[in-house]
Amino acid sequence: MNITKQILINAWNKYKTEISLGEWWDTVASKVEDEFLYSIIRKIKPKKILEISPQYGRSTKIMLSAVRKNNKYCEILSYDVISDSSNLNTNDSAVKRELIVGDVKSTININDIIECDFLFMDSDHSYGFGKWYSQNIIPHLKNNILVYIHDWPTYASDGAGRNYLPHTSRGKFENQNLHGDGEPRAVKEYCVHTKMLNPIMNLDDENLNNIEYENQGIDPVQLLVKI
Ligand SMILES: C[S@@+](CC[C@H](N)C(=O)[O-])C[C@H]1O[C@@H](n2cnc3c(N)ncnc32)[C@H](O)[C@@H]1O
């Protein structure tokens, strides 16, 4: 499947009604991005997901719910320095979820990267960490793998986010950017300019009418595809 913005929007329209947001929704994410995360898993039906990182397991719960609905066996490998989401570990006929505790830079296994069907990235938002995964994870992904990067500011002092969003940023976050521009700047330098990743949409897209980003002042999700 050649993943495009339209395919993702169609999937969102199709699958978002399946989820009950009350279970996990809180102010660290927008309703639309949770709906997209769920709908993406429903659409692409991955066999292996790498989740970097789960913290308390909010994003894990969304993906687990979609995987169970898919009815296609999937392995979710989650990496965090804290073990707070270990209660979500499971291993049954539908899904294996395993939390690997430690610094992902030393715990991640190259074979798992090669086999990955969906990469969820919400970890250390620094430039250094962005550079690390741009050089050590992204190059090993299969082509056409979707990369979901949480907390991607539309405002960035050097235009790191704005330059390759598929629309003109509305610039709402210029005074309330929570996470800095480090990670997007690294991904831009090492993945987008080198044509390893193609940015296909940002969940602040005006067509989505994602009002939580405006109301809560949180940074939006960027979606990119491995070329
Ligand atoms: C923003 S939280 C993740 C939130 C979660 N995805 C959610 O949706 O609720 C970031 C997590 O990254 C973890 N983290 C930061 N640097 C890390 C590293 N080098 N290796 C593994 N985990 C790391 C932190 O411990 C923290 O739990």
Ligand 1 pocket check for 70: Cβ under 6 Å: no
b/e map of 100-129 (b: 16 or more CB within 10 Å)? beeebeeebeeebbebbbbbbbbbbbebeb
What's the pLDDT at 185? 82
Cα separation, 170 vs 113, whole angstroms: 35
Q: Indicate whether 16 belongs to any domain.
A: yes
Cα separations in angstroms, 169 against 68, 154, 218: 36, 6, 14
Its domain, for residue 157, covers: 5-46+68-73+118-226
Cα dihedral sign, 137-143-149-153: positive
Half-sphere exposure of 58 (CA within 13 A, CB side): 16
- Give nearest CA residue, ligand 1 atom 26: 55
What's the pLDDT at 14? 96
Ligand 1 pocket check for 80: Cβ under 6 Å: yes
Residue 33, phi then psi, degrees to nearest 5? -70, -35
Atom of ligand 1 nearest to the CA of 151: 1
Q: Which residues contact 8 (CB under 8 A, 6 or more apart)?
A: 36, 39, 40, 43, 200, 201, 223
pTM score, whole prediction: 0.90
Q: Indicate whether 92 belongs to any domain.
A: no
DSSP bridge partners of 197: 226
Give 78 Cα–ligand 1 centroid separation in angstroms: 10
The closest of 215, 221, 214, 219 to 172, measured between CA atoms, is: 214
Q: Indicate whether 145 belongs to any domain.
A: yes
Q: Indicate whether 108 belongs to any domain.
A: no
Cα separations in angstroms, 119 against 12, 141, 176: 18, 9, 27
Per residue of the chain (227 residues), give pLDDT as tens.
899 999 999 999 999 999 876 666 666 677 888 999 999 999 999 999 999 999 999 999 999 999 999 999 999 999 999 999 999 999 999 999 999 999 999 999 999 999 999 999 999 888 889 999 999 999 999 999 999 998 876 554 444 444 444 433 444 444 444 455 678 888 989 999 899 999 988 887 777 877 776 666 667 888 999 99
Q: Indicate whether 104 belongs to any domain.
A: no
* 132 neighbors 158 (Cβ within 8 angstroms): no
Q: Which residues contact 1 (CB under 8 A, 6 or more apart)?
A: 7, 44, 144
Task: Identify the three-state secondary structure at position 194.
Answer: coil
What's the pLDDT at 166? 43
Name the residue of 124, 129, 132 whose CB sits within 8 Å of the most ligand 1 atoms, as the mutation to test its pocket. Answer: 124
Q: Domains in the chain: how many in total?
A: 1
